[in-house]
Structure 1
């Protein structure tokens, strides 16, 4: 993580964005105190892929699991009483 002052960040923004795209995290300070963080955006396709993988893992884990003869509707109704 690299810290850089606001004035310098303004003058070197293109360079800093390039570094952030490569994975570096840059903290922009104002009067010596952290004010903002510059990081690369995650690709929405990556998030979608991660979500689909999670769903697949959950489906795999539930295989072979049963409620021991209980009916899901009965359990729901029991919880409402």
Structure 2
């Protein structure tokens, strides 16, 4: 991971893109505090399929929201 301040990032943007393309990430600092992160689009693409797998692997438990709303309307609530 490379950390660089805004002024240096502006002057070295092309080389920062090369770093990111190689798979590393770049943190851009303003007054010593991180404000942005440059990452490769390919790294994001790798994460998305695993998120889809995760969503399909989890199952909801109990009643669905619509079933709860319908039941609440049918029952006496007061």
Which TM class, normalised by the smaller chain length? 0.5 to 0.7
Structure 1 distance, partners of 2:26, 2:35, is: 11
Structure 2 distance, partners of 1:25, 1:43, is: 10
- For residues 34-45 of structure 1, the aligned pairs below 5 Å read 34-42=34-42
In structure 2, the gaps of 5 or more residues are 58-67, 72-78
TM-score, normalised on structure 2?
0.56
The structure having more radius of gyration, on CA atoms, is 1
- For residues 2-41 of structure 1, the aligned pairs below 5 Å read 2-41=2-41
Structure 2 distance, partners of 1:35, 1:21, is: 20
| Matched residue SS, 1:35 | strand
Aligned residue pairs, count: 60
In structure 1, the gaps of 5 or more residues are 59-78
Deviation at 1:42, TM superposition (A): 2.3
TM-score, normalised on structure 1?
0.54
What is the aligned-residue RMSD (CA, Å)? 3.2
